[in-house]
Structure 1
Amino acid sequence: MRIVALETLRLNEFPNLLWVRLHTDKGYVGIGETFFGAQAVESYLHESVAPYLLGQDPRDIQRHARALRQYVGFCGTGVEQRGNSAIDLALWDLIGRATGQPLYQALGGRVRTEIPVYNTCAGYRYIRAQPRQAVENWGLPENPSEGPYEDLEAFLTRPDALARDLLAMGIRAMKIWPFDPEAERTNGQFLSLSDLERCLEPFQRIRATVGQEMELLVELHGLWNLPMAVRIARALEPLKPLWIEDPIRSDDLDALATLARVTPIPLALSETLGPRSAFRQLLEQRIPGFILFDLGWCGGLTEARAIAAMAEAYQLPVAPHDCTGPIVFTASVHFSLSIPNSFIQEFVRAFYFGWYQEIVTNLPPFANGLISAPEEAGLGTDLRPELWERSDVHIRISH
């Protein structure tokens, strides 16, 4: 079996998402996906990856993963790493399709048949904004009747009602980020006590309404300096959040280590890191409480398996990041079910019940707060054929 074409597809409606299809001479087609800077990644794939990958056997995934780590782009989550991640997902999808196995089986089988999700409280238009700055530009709806799950607006204005609604769906953990507007207003340098109290209000209202029934996950998007991150963490301690995610930039390990020492709240780190080498340094300093990575950024399933194995050796759980597209989400579910130290899977119900269904033919089954994997071969889903007919589509093929 040989790869005979590399195809990319992107849509103006989703300017940060790029989909990849690898075509083989046996008729199998594998799909991958990545997020952010879609046009730059598209150029990299056709200019640099296609000349290497065309004519290769797609089953040699480890060899391809190593070969694509070239002289640049192998340390972080830049264009090369994001492109390689999408290729890796497509290669694993091909393995599943060619062998007639669901992806979790190709990865070695399931450790569990379903996993709990936490809801990232984004709305329907959250990732369509470019650039993504300030809450006003993150996709607060112009038309609030777009659907019932406008959770970004909900956590800012009625977090107590949102928590009750999530519990009714069986979802017992939720992630919100009310501190971000203040971080952007002050460049992350200062948070006054009065602003701090206002940012704490959504968490306090949730606790007052549903008590300990809901796990609180705090997202800080790496926007704060160390003193303000300490101030936020200490203020949050009485509310007992499950984790604080990316309080400061994840490239400053010493600052992260200092923060980890002064708060009992575990740090969740980090979707912004790349391959296993970056996580090795975090683990060696015993900084994180939870390991997060994105399959569309870290190097795909091949690298994610290595990172998860390292985390397991340090007795740490992993929770794959996904607030991007439906292919990475589906791959993450297969992955989460196949590793022993999976803890919880990120889930955006506004995406799952909204625009994801406009992009793919099938999604992982969800019920009562739990997600399971499709049983069809490979990822168990495909890009909808009507995408190729859209007026805003951009398709490029290397043969």
Structure 2
Amino acid sequence: MTDLKIIKIDLFKVPPRWLFVKITTNEGIVGWGEPVVEGKADTVAACINELKQYLIGKSAKNIEDIWQVLYRGGFYRGGPILMSAISGIDQALWDIKGKQLGVPVYELLGGAVRHKMKMYCWIGGDNPEVVLEQAHEKVKAGYTAVKMNATGSMDWISSLKDIKKVSHNIKLLREEFGDQLDIGLDFHGRVHKGMVKKLIDELTPYEPMFIEEPVLSENNDALKHIYPYTNIPIATGERMFSRWDFKQLLNEGVVDIIQPDLSHAGGISEVRRIASMAEAYDISLAPHCPLGPISLASALHVDFVSSNAIIQESSLGIHYNKGFDILDYVLNPEVFNVKNGYIDLFKKPGLGVEIDEEKLKEGVKIGHNWSNPIWRGEDGNFNEW
């Protein structure tokens, strides 16, 4: 068996806000990854170009050694840029190894523990006018679970009027669908500590599936006060980038669902480790995924082998994807079909997603300069988005 040397690394910055990496070996086997920080695609691309010195000429089979060198080879470690660059490279190397051996990636991770994975998708939540319409669209498309923003822009201590708005959307959904639809609520880090308990009081009667990011990850110490206040499962982790970031949170037992992102938290190798750590604390996994097809496929492979994985986010049809969506760059979109709320176990080797490179090249000509909006309160002070 040949050594599968890495000979070329190409980057594709494409709309709506994605960056793809293509790693080519001397045997012609190609792997695809999705290394991007939303709003920092060029910065991550620069990081990958800096990391090429550790990759070109190396064996693509040595995934773990490459991961360790990329993470530990520099004096400064972690953070969103480096870990997102590592994530995309790691995804591509697993794709190569699976293709070389002719098996799906989950087989290389120990084999599947399930034959299908429960899915949810995003339906908005900032504006009540669209909530029911979008929820019906998703149910018609096969989903049995959705997630929406719990709030719009919030002040550090908001008015009673703003507090009362929070429960309106989930109330509409409960009245329309009863208990037949699971509904996750994303606080999106928009809410400061002083408002969380009051908002939980408003939401509790409508029994959300979970509350996501009740506070920003840099304020995770506040979860010690929030967690015992509610019986609603607490989820967080999309802005945490390695097992070391998750270590204290897991040890303190103030979370029920962790949400590492396969394009930010070190790729398949690291998120699999994070999932196993969480299992030891009886904490479940629901990977964050507002990105493209490679990130989603990578998340599903980890889900397929993780007994504590409970549900998987998909960005199919999310509002960011105007003009270009997950399936637009994929030659076999059927792998992402949702049936009765689930996606079936993948069958093709590697990540199982066939990328339309010609479509990518068209997308590169358009490119993107995506950035999240800047919100300000009525008094002009910055509000979290």
TM-score range, shorter chain: 0.7 to 0.9
Aligned partner (choices 308, 333, 336) of residue 275 of structure 2: 308
Q: Structure 1 residue 74 and structure 2 residue 77: aligned?
A: yes
Q: In structure 2, do the counterparts of structure 1 residues 391 and 163 end up closer, same or farther at CA, with 3 Å as the change threshold?
A: closer
2:374 corresponds to which residue?
A: none
Cα shift readout 1:270-315 (whole Å, capped 9, x = no counterpart)? 1110100111110100010111110000000100111000111111
Rounded to whole Å, the distance in 1 between the matches of 2:42 and 2:77 is: 19
- The unaligned stretches of length 5 or more in structure 2 are 368-385
Query: Does structure 1 residue 296 correspond to structure 2 residue 297?
Result: no
Cα distance, 1:72 vs structure 2: 5.5
Q: Which residue type is aligned with residue 101 of structure 2? A: T
**How much does 1:216 deviate?**
1.6
Equivalent residue number for residue 45 of structure 1: 48
- Structure 2 CA distance for partners of 1:390 and 1:168, relative to 1, 3 Å: closer
The equivalences for 1:241-280 within 5 A come to: 241-280=208-247
What residue identity is the alignment partner of 2:161? S
Partner Cα separation in structure 2 for residue 373 and residue 6 of structure 1: 29
**Is 2:329 the counterpart of 1:359?**
yes
Offset from partner CA, 1:221-258 (integer Å, 9 cap, x none): 11221011121112111111111100111122321211
Which has the larger displacement, 23-32 or 361-370? 361-370
In 2 relative to 1, CA 57–199 (structure 1 residues): closer, same or farther, beyond 3 Å? same
- Which residue in 2 is equivalent to 1:384? 356
What is the distance in 2 between the residues matched to 1:100 and 1:55? 23
Matching residue of 1:227: 194
| Alignment equivalent of 1:55, drawn from 57, 61, 66 | 57
Aligned partners of 1:250 and 1:256 also within 8 Å? no
Contact 1:74 1:275 in 2 (8 A): no
Mapped contact 1:31–1:382 kept (Cα < 8 A): no
AA partner of residue 360 (structure 1) = V
Maintained 8 Å contact 1:330/1:373: no
Q: Which residue, 114, 128, 134 being the options, matches 1:112?
A: 114
Aligned equivalents of 2:331 and 2:237: distance in 1? 30
- The 5-angstrom pairing of residues 89-238 of structure 1 reads 89-121=91-123, 156-180=128-152, 182-183=153-154, 186=155, 189-238=156-205
Q: 2:13 aligns with which of 10, 35, 50?
A: 10
Q: In structure 1, list runs of 5 or more residues that go unmatched.
A: 123-151, 395-399
Deviation (angstroms), 1:371:
0.6
Q: Within 2, Cα distance between the matches of 1:356 and 1:45?
A: 23
Distance 1:206 1:18, change over 3 A: same
CA distance in 2: counterparts of 1:360 and 1:27, whole angstroms: 20
CA distance change for structure 1 residues 296 and 73 in 2, over 3 Å: closer, same or farther?
A: farther
RMSD, aligned CA: 2.0
**Could you tell me how far apart the structure 2 residues matched to 1:75 and 1:391 are?**
28
Partner of residue 31, structure 1 = 32
Shift of 1:174: 1.1
Tell me the equivalent position of 1:136. Answer: none
Q: What is the distance in 2 between the residues matched to 1:274 and 1:370?
A: 27
**Equivalent residue, structure 1, for 2:383:** none
Is the contact between residue 141 and residue 338 of structure 2 (CA under 8 Å) also seen in structure 1?
Answer: no
SS in 2 for 1:5: strand
TM-score by length of 1: 0.84
Larger mean Cα displacement after TM superposition, 308-317 or 358-367: 358-367
Letter in 1 for 2:5: R
On the 8 A contact 1:333/1:372 being kept in 2, the answer is no
Greater shift, 374-383 or 93-102, is seen at 374-383
Residues 1:286 and 2:240 aligned together = no
Q: Determine if contact 1:10/1:19 at 8 Å carries over to the other structure.
A: yes
1:200 Cα deviation after fit:
1.5
Equivalent position SS for 1:350 = coil
Instruction: Show CA shifts across 1:13-59 (max 9, x none).
Output: 33x31110111111101110023211111111112x10111111111
Q: Provide the rounded CA distance (Å) in 2 between the counterparts of 1:73 and 1:218.
A: 35
Identity among equivalent positions (%) equals 29
The Cα shift of 1:190 comes to: 2.1
Deviation (angstroms), 1:373: 3.7
Q: Cα–Cα, structure 1 residues 98 and 391, in superposed 2: closer, same or farther, change >3 Å?
A: closer
How far apart, in 2, do the equivalents of 1:294 and 1:88 lie? 13
- Could you say which residue in structure 2 is the equivalent of 1:144? none
